[in-house]
Structure 1
Amino acid sequence: MTHSQLGEGALWRPVSRRSVLRGGTGLAGVFMLGSTGALLEACSNASNSSSGSPAKKTLTYGAWQAPDTLDPATTGLAATSRIITQVFDTLLYQLAGETKLLPGLATSWEVSPDAKLYTLKLRTGVKFHDGTPFDAKAVQFTFDRIVNPQTKALSALGALGPYSHSTVVDDHTIQIAFDSPYAPFLNVLSQVILAPVSPTAVQKYGQDFGSHPVGTGPFMVKDYAQRDHVTLVRNPDYNWAPAFYGQNGPAALESIKWRIIPEDATRMGTLQTGEADVIEYLVPQSVAQFKSNSKYKVQLIDAPGSPRVIMINVTKPPTDDLAVRQAMLYAVDQKTIVNVLFKDVYKPASSPLEPPTLGYDASIANMYTADPTKAAQLLDGAGWKMGSGGIRQKNGVALKPLFINIANDQFDQIAQIVQADLRKVGIDLQLQNESEPTVFSTYNQGPQNFSEIFYWFNDPSLLYSLYHSSQIAHGFNWGHYSNPQVDELLVRGGATPDPAQRVTIYQQAQQQIMKDAVIMPIQSKRTVMALNASIDGMRFTSITYPLLYATKWK
């Protein structure tokens, strides 16, 4: 996950409440994102005469991170979801900057008054890539597989919340029952981690389904070379595109080559040489360069979820002391980090949620502003006195917290600036790298004082995954944070259908999390990509994953 990416599904077990709405537009924003929306910026001075040929039918996508699998149920990475969004259709859709839910493989839906029973009407005439008919049994199979312990589902398991069972009403009607009210469900149905999979293919490939994924989407996986590339080819039978595209039939592109190019300079270079047509994670220092060149377009898209934060372990000395954690937040200047490293391409973060997310609380933005003097006062008051070499000590022990940083996760420079800021107030931060996936279990075990995470999600219920005490051992609560008041708020927020009430609940939770100094918010996250100016028709999901069905060369 690095970005928790692990974090696409909220690992969650809720309790209590209601709501009823029906129809193809259904909960048009009822459980949705806040009004801020996503900022979509397409910067180009291009004309139709740039380098792409009208006859070109292929596209090369330069990705910075390799997928962990191609199985929606078992992935924990946004890197995977970006790829498989082309392979699997979702039951519902939600587009970048919008709060409305749109029909996908589900054409309409109803929600019971207690938000414990959801009824979906399914699209007819749809087939998986292997010819298996898409129907209610396939949806039931998908959900039951996710909750089966043998599947070892990750983000998808959390996204299903307090799932109880599914009932096939008829071939194209399914009811999904939950043990307790589950308000976020329609939102998460727009995410690819809950996309229907072919029962036939799962039974054929078993645990190797992640290397042979079969969905209903506009593209099929031709080959998958781990840590190198994934080749997608057009599904010739595709004839059930979501209505928002305004077109139907097979995709415009014949194939997509998804190349894994982790080195920033190499990835930038492939766009300039024409070896790639789209590159993601455009480094901030290069944004102005690509913007000013008419051969390229730059996309800057704000995303909901959790910003990039440092989680602070509240159980491991010395960060088990609230005063020490608060001092750290005052010591670090996020604005300087963002200005120096990111050239204003990203924004400083100050909250557990991103502004486009329902429930974002702007009132806590100034709870901790850079103030080294106040940081020093807090440390003095907690008994940490300045010692030799400018490092504070208490009872003969130096103030040396440990930051286990995720290797190759674009956080090294941030960690170094945080280390320098803390050093100014007498904290000697130790930096250590560990690679995926072992770093995640390390974080759960808790030898670190600092861990890093960010989280792509279109509902505030993601806070359950990050801060509920049940998520310490196996979830994403790497701060090992346990606060009964926050636990209760997070359960109640996920079980309350009314959006206004949810906002109040999640704002209370955020305020307490920040009072407890459980995280050090660093920067907002964004999709930042550059592409050949002759590429047209690219859309994005609400959590800014590309939708390439209608993408074409001018």
Structure 2
Amino acid sequence: MQQLRLTRTRRAALIGLAGALAVSLSACAESKRDEAGGGGSGGTMVFGNTGNPKMFDPIFNDEGETFRITRQMLDTLIQNKPGTAELAPSLATKWTPSNDGKTWTFDLKQGVKFSDGTAFDAKAVCFNFDRWYNMKGATAQSQMIYYGDVFEGFAHNEGTTKGEPVYKSCEAKDDHTAVLNLNRAKGAFPAAFTLPSFAIQSPTALQKYNADKVTGSGTSITYPEYGYKHPTGTGPFKFESWDQGNGQITLVRNDTSTMPQPAKLDKLVFKVIPDENARKQALKAGDINGYDFPAPSDYGLLRNDGEQVLIRPSFNVLYLGINQAGPNGAKLQDPRVRQALAYGINREQFVRSKLAEGSEVATEFVPKAISGYTDDVTKYPYDPTKAKQLLKDAGAEGMTLKFYYPTEVTRPYMPNPADTYTAISEDLKAIGINVQPVAESWNGGYKDDVQQNGKQDIHLLGWTGDYNDAGNFVGTFFGRPKPEFGLTDQNNQGIFKALADADAAPAGDAHTKAYQEANKKIMDYLPAIPIAYPTPAIVVGPKIKGVVASPLTDERFDNVTIG
């Protein structure tokens, strides 16, 4: 879910004013909610999204606003138990690895159909895996972020992915048994099978609507009609419409679903309201039934108004990125300078004053809930005197750093980017750093500039975990050369190898210990500075029942009632 997701996706531009969006919800939705008041089932739930989705073919997505919607329509082989990062059955009732971790056998749920009426079976599972592996075109491959991260290569690499593929083949042993063969073990499995990008979709619909015809490049990428109008899965809801001009996506109950049963709601509407305050006012007015990422300062007020503020367990990290290949790369390559920045930030005060209840100071890039976390890492407590001395020793007193931070966005790890920037920049100024601020819209090029173009010296980003594996955090950040940090094959001090070794270790004690050792190496080298483990919330109205807050922002609405 999620540097949110910190990668190369681009979402459609928002149209219209946030305030207008907040109050332009349909009267039909409101009347449906009222009708549901007695019995609890039926009706329409309207949820306030923070931004527009990209489109609805999840293999080309890597960000939360899209995944929130696709999770309601499309199922994966394995899912997470509600409210946790624990694994639970979904389309697969059982998953069994071979001793060497190179083969995974999935026993599939029987009697399941896609929303187009076609059968879900082992052939459909293998069709999807083969589709991803055989994807053609540099543009299409470049947009398959999670496939590239997890499976590391295609049948024919045409984009930036250059690795030898993890995937080898898929065999439909019978209608209800799919066997996945790998070229090598992957410690991220089985947890990575929960990724929304790996949802199983109808082969018939994918072929009918030419789902693989991705064209263009850069900011001018065109996706086929399938992703905008015909996403077809086995989930409790199915796609009805997307009014892009008004930022409204409408799903309806999928009466053919057995996953685990049809939804209780008649309709589920997602309304794009970019401004957090406008979302709050829409909830108070009864125009929406819930929204994500309320400001921590509003928790008490919302509760006093009778709203339900559901706190998620922390499964994310906020960090200050350091670009060793940026405008001041030569100075930032000196470990004393990076250490000075870490000692100079008062993270305890920031967490207390700016973040929600339950948030903690981050000591590494892996949250405590993740297997691979270790307390035995080098720590950098607030010590401005030591920071000034390190800058002096490095000859970097009075240096100017170009500090990028995003606007027009609320992230689980960063509820208010401007406040976060202000707090950290004031700390840096206090140790003698000159800060040159660069504010840039999240959907207006921010992620490209800091992740791909490397224009910054330092920047704010973070990550919400997609699945319970340390590699999803540190492997995503530091596992290979990235312009975001200026890490190269030459200067990473063994971090790449340590993470590759950990990733290749099958799940278990060896896998955990390997990541703990990698985390120690990362915090010694300090390619960036972990700031906090925030605890984001989701808020719903007093009549909404059945929403379970998820650490992965993986809330499902199939069991929701309004009463």
Paired residues of 2:313 and 2:551 also in contact (CA < 8 A): no
Paired residues of 2:356 and 2:536 also in contact (CA < 8 A): no
Asked if 1:353 corresponds to 2:359, the answer is: no
1:127-177, Cα deviation, whole Å (9 max, x unpaired): 111122212222122222223243331224323452222122222221112
Residue in structure 2 matching 1:220, options 233, 238, 247? 238
Q: Secondary structure at the match of 1:256?
A: strand
Asked if 1:421 corresponds to 2:432, the answer is: no
**What is the rounded CA distance, in whole Å, between the counterparts of 1:99 and 1:296 in structure 2?**
26
Residue in structure 1 matching 2:497, options 488, 493, 500? 488
1:514-554, Cα deviation, whole Å (9 max, x unpaired): 11121222222334011112211223555131111111123
Deviation (angstroms), 1:256: 0.8
Q: Which residue of 2 aligns with 1:407?
A: 407
Q: Which residue of 2 aligns with 1:53?
A: 37
Asked if 1:252 corresponds to 2:264, the answer is: yes
Aligned counterparts, 1:30-429, within 5 A: 53-55=37-39, 57-96=43-82, 98=84, 100-147=86-133, 148-150=135-137, 151-152=140-141, 153-161=144-152, 162-205=166-209, 206=211, 207-212=224-229, 213-226=231-244, 228-241=247-260, 248=261, 250-293=262-305, 295-304=306-315, 306-316=316-326, 317=329, 318-342=331-355, 344=357, 346-364=359-377, 367-385=379-397, 392=398, 399-409=399-409, 410-429=416-435
1:352-396, Cα deviation, whole Å (9 max, x unpaired): 0111111112233x71111110100000000124xxxxxx1xxxx
Q: Secondary structure at the match of 1:469?
A: coil
User: How many percent of aligned residue pairs carry the same amino acid?
Assistant: 27
Q: Which residue of 1 aligns with 2:533?
A: 524
Q: Secondary structure at the match of 1:368?
A: coil
Question: Would the alpha carbon gap of residues 155 and 229 (structure 1) be closer, same or farther in structure 2, given more than 3 Å must change?
Answer: farther
Question: Would the alpha carbon gap of residues 345 and 239 (structure 1) be closer, same or farther in structure 2, given more than 3 Å must change?
Answer: same
Deviation (angstroms), 1:211: 0.8
**What is the rounded CA distance, in whole Å, between the counterparts of 2:507 and 2:118 in structure 1?**
39
Question: Would the alpha carbon gap of residues 237 and 190 (structure 1) be closer, same or farther in structure 2, given more than 3 Å must change?
Answer: same
Greater displacement, 413-422 / 426-435: 426-435
Q: Which residue of 2 aligns with 1:40?
A: none
Q: Secondary structure at the match of 1:505?
A: helix
Deviation (angstroms), 1:296: 1.7
Instruction: Please tell me the residue identity of whatever aligns with 1:363.
Output: D
**What is the rounded CA distance, in whole Å, between the counterparts of 1:320 and 1:226 in structure 2?**
45
Residue in structure 1 matching 2:446, options 439, 443, 454? 439
**What is the rounded CA distance, in whole Å, between the counterparts of 1:262 and 1:529 in structure 2?**
15
Greater displacement, 252-261 / 542-551: 542-551
**What is the rounded CA distance, in whole Å, between the counterparts of 1:109 and 1:356 in structure 2?**
23
**What is the rounded CA distance, in whole Å, between the counterparts of 1:78 and 1:504 in structure 2?**
30
Paired residues of 1:444 and 1:478 also in contact (CA < 8 A): no
Question: Would the alpha carbon gap of residues 7 and 354 (structure 1) be closer, same or farther in structure 2, given more than 3 Å must change?
Answer: farther
Greater displacement, 250-259 / 63-72: 63-72
Question: Would the alpha carbon gap of residues 3 and 226 (structure 1) be closer, same or farther in structure 2, given more than 3 Å must change?
Answer: farther
Q: Secondary structure at the match of 2:312?
A: strand
Instruction: Please tell me the residue identity of whatever aligns with 1:204.
Output: K
**What is the rounded CA distance, in whole Å, between the counterparts of 2:257 and 2:404 in structure 1?**
46
Instruction: Please tell me the residue identity of whatever aligns with 1:441.
Output: D
For CA contacts below 8 A with separation 6 or more, give which structure has more relative contact order.
1
Question: Would the alpha carbon gap of residues 540 and 87 (structure 1) be closer, same or farther in structure 2, given more than 3 Å must change?
Answer: farther
Greater displacement, 439-448 / 253-262: 439-448
Deviation (angstroms), 1:8: 12
1:287-316, Cα deviation, whole Å (9 max, x unpaired): 0112234x2211001143x40112211233
Unaligned 5+ residue runs, structure 1?
10-49, 242-247, 386-391, 393-398
Give the paired residue count: 488
Greater displacement, 59-68 / 137-146: 137-146
**What is the rounded CA distance, in whole Å, between the counterparts of 1:255 and 1:403 in structure 2?**
44
Question: Would the alpha carbon gap of residues 85 and 363 (structure 1) be closer, same or farther in structure 2, given more than 3 Å must change?
Answer: same
Greater displacement, 282-291 / 89-98: 89-98
CA RMSD between the two structures: 2.4
Paired residues of 2:36 and 2:43 also in contact (CA < 8 A): no
Q: Which residue of 2 aligns with 1:449?
A: 457
**What is the rounded CA distance, in whole Å, between the counterparts of 2:244 and 2:432 in structure 1?**
44
**TM-score when normalising by structure 1:** 0.83
1:324-361, Cα deviation, whole Å (9 max, x unpaired): 11101111111222222225353322210111111112
Asked if 1:545 corresponds to 2:558, the answer is: no
**What is the rounded CA distance, in whole Å, between the counterparts of 2:150 and 2:487 in structure 1?**
21
Q: Secondary structure at the match of 1:93?
A: strand
**What is the rounded CA distance, in whole Å, between the counterparts of 1:403 and 1:270 in structure 2?**
34
Q: Secondary structure at the match of 2:123?
A: helix
Paired residues of 2:6 and 2:447 also in contact (CA < 8 A): no
Deviation (angstroms), 1:498: 4.5
**What is the rounded CA distance, in whole Å, between the counterparts of 2:136 and 2:479 in structure 1?**
21
**TM-score when normalising by structure 2:** 0.81
Deviation (angstroms), 1:52: 7.4
Q: Which residue of 2 aligns with 1:19?
A: none
1:499-519, Cα deviation, whole Å (9 max, x unpaired): 222222111111211111212
1:21-70, Cα deviation, whole Å (9 max, x unpaired): xxxxxxxxxxxxxxxxxxxxxxxxxxxxx997125611011121222221
